[in-house]
Amino acid sequence: MEKGEKFHGMSPLPFAEKEAIIKNEYGPRVHRAGLILSLLQAVIIFLPALYLLVAFDVWPGWGTIGKAFLSVAAIAGPYWFIEPVSYFLILGIAGTYISFLAGNISNMRLPVSAVSQEVAGVREGSPEGEIIGAIGIVASQWALTIATLAAAIIVTVVIEHLPKSVTGAFDFLLPCLWGAIFGQFTLRAPQYAVVTIIVGIPLVMWSGLPTWTLIPIMVFGLAILAIILFKKGIWVPKKS
């Protein structure tokens, strides 16, 4: 095919032949490497906490860890299952392994995969798309490693040289961050933002419930409310 054509990068081989290479040769090898290194990563993820325990004898206790886990799981839990399923067809086999091992899916892997396939002139979802998408996502991880290392070093150095009047502003980092993100989701579902504040203030201020229970209560409460109201056709966004 000529370079000016949209799918100029597609291979002239028959589809069945290309599909067989993906299924019988490329796929199994990627699955093996992906499985082994993902399992290894699942161990590495715990090393920072284990390092504090072994090197400095710092152990918060199962109860404290359990409370923290429950708060995180209440928010992240649904996404553990939804994201791999939702993104698989876009990311492909290799892209899924890298993306769920190294993160940054919607903001980086998806656009990078799409652009690299577009530029290389291959169809998304085709065997060629699987290969080019994988190469694109590989490149994005190389770029990400350099960017995160640079950020970690540069920001650390800059903070050390700032005057106290400036670093004092960082005391307000979290409330400002919550405000900005709350604003982002308020644009998507303003009614639920109002409900959150109206219900949340008395719950947080005067309910007397343990603080670690508040996120699960509010998250599941609002999720159930959203399901009920959506089914009744109430507060359904016009675009959806």
Partner 1 sequence: MEAEWLKQATGFGMWFIGALTAGNALLLTLIIYRHARKYGLQMGLKAEAMREGLKAALITSIGPCMGIFVGMTVLVIALGGAVAFIRESAGVGSIMFELIASRAGAEAAGVKLTREGMNSIGLATILWAMATGSVAWVLIGGVFTRYLPKLKDFMGQGNPAQMAIISAAIMLAAFGRLLISDSIKPLIDKGYWPPFIGMLVAFLVGIGWLIWSDKLKKPIMKEYFILIAIIVGMAISQMVRLSMGK
Q: Work out how close the CB of 176 gets to partner 1 at its nearest, in angstroms, rounded to a whole number.
A: 3
Q: Phi and psi of 166, rounded to 5°?
A: -85, -45
Among 45, 125, 207, 209, binds partner 1 (CB under 8 A): 45
Q: Pick one of 2, 5, 124, 143: the residue that binds partner 1 (CB under 8 A).
A: 143
134 contacts partner 1 (rule: CB under 8 A): yes
d(CA 191, CA 187): 10
Among 40, 125, 207, 209, binds partner 1 (CB under 8 A): 40
Q: Tokens at residue 209, please? A: 């419930």
Residues in the interface with partner 1 (CB under 8 A) total: 163
**Cα distances (angstroms) measured from residue 98 to each of 24, 49, 61, 221:** 20, 23, 33, 34
Using the rule CB under 8 A, which residue among 5, 6, 125, 183 binds partner 1? 183
CB of 232 to partner 1, least distance (A): 12
**How many CA atoms within 13 Å lie on the side-chain side of 44?**
8
Which one of residues 5, 17, 125, 207 is an interface residue with partner 1 (CB under 8 A)? 17
Q: Is 84 exposed, middle or buried (0-12, 13-18, 19+ CB in 10 A)?
A: middle
86-125: contacts with partner 1 (CB under 8 A): 86, 88-89, 93-94, 96-105, 107-108, 111-113, 115-122
Kindly report the number of other CB atoms within 10 A of residue 58's CB atom: 10
- Helices 173-188 and 190-206, interaxial angle, to 10°? 140
Task: Say how many CA atoms lie within 13 Å of 213 toward its Cβ.
Answer: 5
CA torsion 191-197-202-205 (nearest 10°) is: 160
Q: Considering the complex, what minimum distance in angstroms separates the CB of residue 178 from partner 1? A: 4
- In the complex with partner 1, the residue whose CB is nearer, 6 or 185, is 185
Site string for partner 1, 150-169 (x = CB under 8 A): xxxx-xx--x-----xx-xx
Q: Considering the complex, what minimum distance in angstroms separates the CB of residue 90 from partner 1?
A: 11
Q: Which of 4, 56, 161, 208 binds partner 1 (CB under 8 A)?
A: 56
Contact map string, positions 206 to 235, toward partner 1, x by CB under 8 A = -----xx-xx--xx-xxx-xxx--xx---x
Residue 127 and residue 22: Cα distance in Å, rounded?
Answer: 7
Q: From the CB of 46, what's the least distance to partner 1, in Å?
A: 5
Cβ distance 212 to 71 under 8 Å? Answer: yes
d(CA 94, CA 91): 7
Residues in region 66-85 near partner 1 by CB under 8 A: 67-69, 71-85
